[in-house]
A = this chain, B = another copy of it.
Amino acid sequence: MKHAWLGLAAAGLLAAPAQAADRAAILAEYQALLAIPNVATDVADIRRNADHIMAMMARRGLAPRLLEGADNKVPPAIYGEWRVPGAKRTLVLYAHYDGQPVTPEDWTSTQPFTPKLYSDRPDRGGKPIAFPAAGQKVDDDWRVYGRSASDDKLGVMAILAAVDQLKAKGEQPGFNLKIFFEGEEEMGSPNLAALLARHRDTLKSDGWVIIDGPAHPSGAPQVSLGVRGDVNVDIVVHGPVRPLHSGHYGNWVPNPAMVLSQLLASMKDASGRVTVPGWYDDVVPLTEAERAAIRAVPAADAQLKAELGLGWTEGNGTALLDAIQQPSLNINGIRAADVGDKARNVIPTSAAATLDLRLVKGNDVKRQVDKLIRHIRAQGFHVLDRAPTLDERRAHTRIATVTVGAGYNAERTPLDDPLAQSVVAAARPHRAVVLPSLGGSLPLYIFRETLGAPTVSLTLANHDNNQHAEDENLRLGNLYRAIDVTADVLRMR
C-alpha cells in the first residue's frame, strides 16, 4: 500500500518535521503495523511482521533483508542500510519489533492487536475516536492503544519516519546508517548473541543507538548510557499430589500457597530491601560524573507517587533514580488455584511464582541466580529443575522446581564515550535528560561482548504507557517527537 504522503514527500512538497499534513498519514501507517500480532514465541506471526516492515523499508530505499538465526525457528532480525559516501562513522540504529505476551481478557481499551485511538487516557475521561483521514489535524494528547504501541514498534516507526524526514528535505544522514530490528527482545533475546556473531561483518559499526523505552515522567526525552540486566526465574512449590478438601485435610496437609508465600516473604524485608545474602555485593559504584548526571535530572518522585496512588516506596525514601542503580527482585505474578468467585475450598497441588531479577553493572546472571537458589535451599527447600518424583516428594519437607530463563547482564557506556557525547548533543535541543542507566533492560551487554560496540539508548515513549501490561498505549505527541529526535540523531556527524 502506497501512502499519498510518500508521494508528496518524494516531490519535496512537505517541510518536515511533523507538519499537520503528514501526521495522520504516519499514524495510518503505524496503525497497520500495530495490527499484526507480534508475540515473540509465535514465529509465524513474527515473520508476518518482518515481511510488513521490510515492505515499509523497501518503499524508503533502505535495501531491507532478513538476518536469520541458526534455523528458521529463530525470530529473524531485519536489516537495512543507507550508505553515505564520505561519512566518517558507521552507526546502527536499533529497535525491536516483537512484543510482550498478551492476556486479551485483561484489556479494557481494545483488543491487543486491534489498535484503537482515544482522545486521552480513558481513566481521565478519554473517549474512543476514529483514526483521522489524511491531512486531518492530529492532537498531541490522543493515544493509540495496542500491544507494542510504545514497546517497541515505536522505535521502528520513529526510525523509518525520521528517514522520510531527511529524504523530504533532501538531506543525508551524518554517518553510514545501518538499521537492525530485533524480533525476540521480549523473550530475553536467547539467540541474539549467536545472530550478531553470525552476521558480524554486516553489522560492523562504531556503535549502536537503541530506541526503546519510556521518557522521563516529566515528559522529557531521555538519553540513557546503560540498562539493567535481566533474568526471569520460575518457582513452583509442590503440595499434595492431588487437590484436597480444605476441611478434611486443612491444618494437617501443608498448603503449597502458604509455603510459597513464606518463601517469597523471606526474600525482602518490610522496607523492600532484598534479604537474599550477597544480593548487593557485586555492584560497581557509579562514578562521580554519573552521580552528578543523576542529580541534574528533575526529580519526579512526588509526581509519580501521587499519580500511582502510592503511600510509600521501597528503600526508606530512596529516590527512584537511585533505586534503579541497584539489583532488584520483583514478583511478576503468583498463582495457586483460584480466588474470589472461582475459589474452591481446596489445598492446591502447587503454587507458582515468576520472579524478575534486574541486574546492574558488576552483577552476573549466573552468580545472581545462584545466590537466589542458595537462599531457597537455606529456607529448607530441596531444589529441582524439574517436577519431583513421588519418592522425592516423600523424602523432603519442602520442594521447589526452579527454572531459569534466558538472561543477560547489565551494560553501561561511559559518559565521555564519543558516541555518548554526540547522542547527548543531538538530543539536548529537545530538552532531553541524561541517565547513566535506565531501570529497564535491553541485551546491550551482548553488543559489547560480541561486536565490541558501545551502545547509547534513547527512550521516548510516554512514561504512563502500560508497557508490558494490558492497555499498552502511546501518546501521539511522543510518537511525533520521537521522529524529530531520531531525525536529529541521523544528522549527527
Binding site for B on A (CB under 8 A): 41, 100-101, 103, 123, 213-214, 227-228, 230, 232, 234, 238, 240-255, 257-258, 260-262, 264-268, 270, 272, 274, 305-315, 318, 320, 323-324, 326, 328-348, 351-354, 356, 358, 380, 388, 390, 393-399, 438-441, 463-464, 466-471
Contact = CB atoms under 8 A, between A and B. Distances in A.
Nearest to A388: B309
A337 B274 CA distance: 21
A310 B340 contact: no
A254 B238 CA distance: 27
Contact of A356 (B272, B345, B397, B467): B345
A260 B315 CA distance: 18
A408 to B, nearest CB: 12
Given A247-B438, A252-B324, A354-B339, A242 B308 contact: yes
B332 A343 contact: yes
B439 A344 contact: no
- Copies of this chain, how many? 2
Contact of A245 (B214, B262, B340, B471): B214
Contact of A308 (B241, B257, B314): B241
Given A213-B248, A320-B252, A243 B470 contact: yes
Nearest to A347: B330
Contacts of A101: 338, 341-344
A396 B243 contact: no
Nearest to A439: B248
B234 A340 contact: yes
A401 to B, nearest CB: 11
Top 7 A-B residue pairs of the complex, sorted by shortest distance between their CB atoms: A309-B393, A243-B469, A247-B440, A333-B337, A265-B265, A343-B354, A251-B328
Pick from A356, A390, A398 the residue with the most CB of B within 10 Å.
Answer: A356
B305 A394 contact: yes
A252 B330 CA distance: 10
B328 A250 contact: yes
B339 A248 contact: no
B308 A468 contact: no
B338 A468 contact: no
Given A265-B261, A324-B251, A336 B331 contact: yes
Contact of A397 (B245, B312, B346, B471): B312
A251 B330 contact: yes
Given A246-B358, A314-B251, A464-B242, A332 B338 contact: yes
Contacts of A270: 262, 380
13 contacts: A214-B248, A241-B308, A243-B468, A245-B468, A248-B439, A250-B324, A258-B272, A311-B395, A333-B339, A333-B343, A334-B336, A339-B353, A343-B354
A251 to B, nearest CB: 4
Contacts of A397: 311-312
A320 B264 CA distance: 28
B250 A439 contact: yes
Given A261-B261, A345-B332, A228 B240 contact: no
